[in-house]
Amino acid sequence: MHTPVALLLELGLILAALSLLCALARRFALSPVPLYLLAGLALGEGGIAPVPAADEFVGTGASIGLVLLLLALGLEFTVPEFTVSLRRHMPSAGVDLVLNAVPGAVAGWLLGWDAAGILALAGVTYISSSGIIARLLDDLRRLGNRETPAVLSVLVLEDFAMAAYLPVLAVVVSGGTWQQALAGALVAVGAVGAAFAASYWWGHHLGRLVVNPDAEQVLLRVLGITLIVAALAETVHISAAVGAFLVGLALTGEAADRTRAVVGPLRDLFAAVFFLAIGLSIRPGTLLSVLPPALALAAVTAATKVAAGWYAASRDGAGAQGRLRAGTALIARGEFSIVIIALAGVHDDRLGPLVAAYVFLLAIAGPLVTRFTGGAPAPPQPQPPSAPAAEQRP
């Protein structure tokens, strides 16, 4: 079998560069995510060192990276405790929707866009990046914090909302009827409910299937099941990330411990590729002309995300510092906004550059603001191998 030399060389150079950037970020107690995004911008089309041979691998690897990030996040919680958290945060989801979708809709109206453009921009400003935030919480060692269930509940409810939103957007962009849009949304919401119910009632059987003395067997089984569930989720217009998160929730006890051990290094590799891919998807030349409106929109919606996170964390009884950490953690936008560009960008060529600049600003600013407003990362605390995540949270 012949392997293209250019592919091997470009991938080798990319991974070596990401390693150096990661070491630099760790040296200053920062998350490496912003540096990975900047590296992607430099290596993409129009950047200083394009890597065309690696594009296909990076695109595929990014999808796997998002799935593994959310799988790992789901492993930190159990279905019953997370179900309680979701119920508690239904009002938080409403506040998040109003505070963050409205600025995008208003901005689209002020720019003179039609209904499809307004709807698209409202979705862009509403949805946070599950992938970036999952990695950020892990980097800053905040998975056990009191406010973290509030952050995760808001993220998952946003992803559930996207299941209804994306079919509606696709129909509106294509010029379809509102009846078609409503039908697509109802099917997607029903599928989300069925998937969550399956995870709640039958998820415990998954642990028995996964547990095995052989680490290789555990890795192959978990990865295979997760990718299948993620694919099924995408088929019915649910995010693959939601499917992976539900698999993680369903694994508890020994199954969760073994999965964390074998999946961790693979997650770190593909997560780095995921962040790189977001940067690669943005052309540097398109950013300057739309920077002023993107900056204004980013400033407004960063503040509204902080307000939404503050409110959500307050419902869990978090103190002022925890509420601030929750709010700043939600600032970053990312993968869903790129999906929205793909759906609506062909309808209005003004949307792509503005959203790209907006996403890039908040994908970089979000992790930095979170790091410097929430206090230094806590030193890692050793935990008994079998202790569930719920018992580790103060």
In this predicted structure, the answer to whether residue 303 has a pLDDT above a threshold of 90 is yes
Residue 383, pLDDT score: 45
For residues 374-394, give the mean pLDDT. Answer: 46
CB 139 within 8 A of CB 341: no
At 329-378, the pLDDT tens digits run 999 988 778 778 777 765 566 787 888 889 889 988 888 898 888 655 55
Highest mean pLDDT among 5-19, 68-82, 162-176: 5-19
CB 148 within 8 A of CB 85: no
User: Cα–Cα distance between 44 and 278 in angstroms, integer?
Assistant: 10
Instruction: Please indicate whether residue 112 or residue 306 has the higher confidence score (pLDDT).
Output: 306
At 33-67, the pLDDT tens digits run 888 888 988 887 777 888 888 888 898 998 898 88
- Does domain 8-49+57-375 correspond to CATH entry 1.10.630.10? no
User: Cα–Cα distance between 10 and 243 in angstroms, integer?
Assistant: 32
User: Cα–Cα distance between 79 and 199 in angstroms, integer?
Assistant: 7
For residues 188-217, give the mean pLDDT. Answer: 76
Mean pLDDT of the residues in the chain? 83
For residues 81-101, give the mean pLDDT. Answer: 87
DSSP-assigned letters across all residues of 186-243:
HHHHHHHHHHHHHHHHHTHHHHHHH--S-HHHHHHHHHHHHHHHHHHHHHTT--HHHH
CB 158 within 8 A of CB 123: no
Q: Which residue from 336, 341, 383, 305 is spatially nearest to 131, judged by alpha carbons?
A: 336
For residues 160-181, give the mean pLDDT. Answer: 76
Residue 105, pLDDT score: 94
Instruction: Please indicate whether residue 178 or residue 52 has the higher confidence score (pLDDT).
Output: 52
User: Cα–Cα distance between 127 and 156 in angstroms, integer?
Assistant: 10
Question: pLDDT-based confidence at 381, cuts 50/70/90?
Answer: very low
Residue 204 has which token pair? 């415990």
pTM of the predicted model as reported, rounded to 2 decimal places: 0.76
90-110 vs 115-126: helix axis angle to the nearest 10? 140
Residue 204, pLDDT score: 67
Residue 320, pLDDT score: 92
Question: pLDDT-based confidence at 384, cuts 50/70/90?
Answer: very low
CB 301 within 8 A of CB 100: yes
Which amino acid, 127? Answer: I
Residue 202, pLDDT score: 72
For residues 117-137, give the mean pLDDT. Answer: 89
At 228-244, the pLDDT tens digits run 988 887 776 667 777 88
DSSP-assigned letters across all residues of 264-316:
HHHHHHHHHHHHHHHHHTS-GGGTGGGHHHHHHHHHHHHHHHHHHHHHHHHHT
User: Cα–Cα distance between 392 and 145 in angstroms, integer?
Assistant: 9
